[in-house]
């Protein structure tokens, strides 16, 4: 693994956090409002402080370095060894983006960890940045916290850290647990792919672990898996002509509409666990003017693949789409795909957890290896990526307890 021990010069730069005027969460005010809830766990204050600090730092994909530095400082100050792993910067407007890195940490000061369980989530978020806010009044389990990343996935990051801290304090774990917080999950998964690649080095710095716990908003349920994905673009080529004489040309828009209608109505694959494969035309473009028969038409789509196996399930969907395009016009279409994998199964057979399946993609398929995979996190994907992204205090606290259960369960396997 290309991990570099943190140097003081790298992380010493202060992180200027954004302030929120609704309810400033200082140690004093946290203690006061928490006392109103008799069921508040002893770690509530530090959990909410950490969660707020993470959300306050903007970290849209490509700009994760500030929140990464914050995490390194936080973890090293609390008895962890923290390393970084550089990840390729994103290019923006033809220019190389800022330096960024994964954060890798484990309890204690050993430089030769022996992790059996990996605990991981992502520190990047989707745009736009939405500042932190918390419902007014005394803090209870029903109190809502809003802002970008509150559930996807800084809610998971914060609760994972506190869960591991609590297990450390109780002497229930040592360097057999490793935290990995990655960049770029929301775009291409480059952070997890880089970490996965480092595990395949010979010899790897880190031994193969036996289980990995991934953090994403799953409504506080243990996910049995999630749908696969297929991201592609279709280009149709016609023959331009005057719109008054359409028979002299060939409308790329027309054949694209016909093909897309057939794709939408087709059976692209289904399964009992994940339901139907669904498809979304995210971007459509074609033509130059209303009085010109269009020569070009394009569709960029995302399919959520309900069939497996993970390595090849998406190829079945792809072949069905290709067949439809050929039936509509055997010469007009070009299909180009950038990403694909079949449905992703996870272990959900753990006592005390409700079960769920989800339709979104995660970093689970980006981490290669023979290990048990768990997927769990606070909050709902139904509010993630939206203006009202939120998570409740109760969901965060439950996640701390549930991550502890999952870690201890995984260590016994």
Q: What is the CATH number of the domain that holds 164?
A: 3.40.630.10
183 with 169, same domain? Answer: yes
62 with 199, same domain? Answer: yes
Of the pLDDT bands very low, low, confident and very high (cuts 50, 70, 90), residue 162 is very high
pLDDT at 200: 86
Q: Which residues are catalytic?
A: 185
pLDDT at 201: 82
Domain-located, residue 18: no
83 with 204, same domain? Answer: yes
pLDDT at 94: 81
Give the dihedral sign, CA 126/132/133/139.
positive
Cα 67 to Cα 58: distance, rounded to the nearest angstrom: 8
- Strand pairing partners for 276? 270
Structure tokens at 353: 């957890």
pLDDT at 93: 81
207 with 235, same domain? Answer: no
Give the dihedral sign, CA 369/375/378/381.
positive
List, in order, residues 6 or more apart from 403 with CB less than 8 Å away.
119, 159, 160, 163, 164, 213, 215, 376
162 with 76, same domain? Answer: yes
110 with 145, same domain? Answer: yes
74 with 173, same domain? Answer: yes
Of the pLDDT bands very low, low, confident and very high (cuts 50, 70, 90), residue 91 is confident
Helices and strands per DSSP (H, E), number in the chain:
9, 23
363 with 251, same domain? Answer: no
Domain-located, residue 194: yes
Domain count of the fold of the chain: 2
Of the pLDDT bands very low, low, confident and very high (cuts 50, 70, 90), residue 1 is very low
Q: What's phi and psi for 204, nearest 5 deg?
A: -70, 150
Structure tokens at 324: 């439809």
pLDDT at 49: 98
Domain-located, residue 51: yes
50 with 186, same domain? Answer: yes
pLDDT at 92: 81
Residue where one domain finishes, among candidates 322, 341, 360: 341
Residue 225 Ramachandran class (φ > 0 left, ψ -120 to 50 alpha, else beta): left
Q: In whole angstroms, what separates CA 198 from the centre of its chain?
A: 20
Element (H, E) at 409: helix 393-412
Residue where one domain finishes, among candidates 341, 373, 389: 341
What is the domain-level CATH number for residue 258?
A: 3.30.70.360
Instruction: Report the mean per-residue pLDDT for the chain.
Output: 91
Of the pLDDT bands very low, low, confident and very high (cuts 50, 70, 90), residue 36 is low
Instruction: Give residue 370's domain range.
Output: 43-226+344-411
DSSP state of 377: -
Q: Residue range 270-282: average pLDDT?
A: 97
- Express as a percent the part of the chain with pLDDT over 90: 85
| Predicted structure pTM score | 0.89
134 with 182, same domain? Answer: yes
Domain-located, residue 361: yes
**Which carries the bigger pLDDT value, residue 74 or residue 11?**
74
Domain-located, residue 17: no
Count of Cβ atoms closer than 10 Å to residue 91 Cβ? 10
Q: Residue range 141-154: average pLDDT?
A: 98
321 with 348, same domain? Answer: no
Cα 395 to Cα 365: distance, rounded to the nearest angstrom: 26
Residue where one domain finishes, among candidates 341, 361, 384: 341
Domain-located, residue 13: no
Report, in this order, helix, strand and coil percent for the chain, each rounded to 5: 30, 25, 45
Domain-located, residue 275: yes
């Amino acid at each position: 693994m290309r991990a570099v021990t943190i140097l003081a010069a790298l992380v010493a730069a202060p992180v200027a956090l954004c302030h929120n005027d609704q309810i400033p969460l200082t140690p004093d005010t946290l203690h006061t409002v928490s006392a109103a809830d008799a069921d508040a766990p002893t770690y509530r204050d530090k959990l909410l402080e950490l969660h707020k600090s993470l959300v306050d730092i903007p970290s849209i994909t490509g700009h994760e370095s500030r929140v990464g530095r914050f995490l390194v400082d936080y973890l090293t100050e609390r008895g962890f060894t923290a390393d970084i792993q550089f990840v390729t910067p994103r290019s923006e407007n033809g220019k190389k983006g800022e330096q960024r890195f994964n954060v890798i940490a484990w309890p204690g000061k050993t430089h030769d960890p022996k992790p059996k369980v990996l605990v991981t989530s992502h520190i990047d978020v989707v745009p736009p940045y939405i500042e932190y806010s918390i419902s007014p009044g005394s803090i209870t389990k029903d109190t809502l916290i809003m802002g970008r990343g509150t559930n996807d996935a800084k809610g998971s990051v914060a609760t994972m850290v506190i869960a591991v801290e609590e297990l450390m304090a109780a002497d229930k774990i040592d360097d057999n647990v490793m935290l990995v917080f990655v960049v770029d999950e929301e775009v291409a998964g480059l952070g997890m792919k880089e970490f996965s690649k480092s595990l395949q080095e010979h010899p790897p710095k880190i031994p193969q672990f036996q289980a990995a716990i991934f953090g994403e908003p799953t409504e506080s349920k243990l996910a049995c898996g999630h749908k696969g994905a297929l991201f592609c673009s279709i280009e149709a080529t016609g023959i331009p002509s005057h719109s008054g004489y359409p028979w002299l040309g060939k409308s790329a828009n027309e054949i694209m509409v016909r093909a897309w209608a057939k794709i939408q109505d087709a059976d692209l694959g289904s399964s009992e666990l994940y339901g139907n494969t669904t498809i979304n035309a995210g971007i459509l473009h074609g033509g130059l003017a209303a009085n010109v028969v269009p020569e070009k038409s394009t569709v960029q789509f995302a399919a959520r693949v309900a069939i497996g196996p993970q390595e090849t399930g998406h190829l079945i969907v792809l072949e069905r789409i290709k067949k439809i395009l050929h039936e509509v016009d055997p010469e007009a279409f070009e299909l180009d795909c950038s990403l694909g994998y079949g449905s992703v199964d996870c272990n959900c057979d753990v006592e005390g957890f409700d079960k769920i399946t989800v339709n979104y993609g995660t970093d689970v398929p980006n981490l290669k290896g023979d290990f048990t995979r768990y997927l769990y996190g606070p909050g709902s994907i139904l509010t993630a990526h939206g203006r009202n992204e939120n998570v409740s205090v109760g969901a965060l606290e439950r996640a701390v307890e549930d991550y502890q259960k999952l870690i201890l369960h995984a260590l016994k396997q």
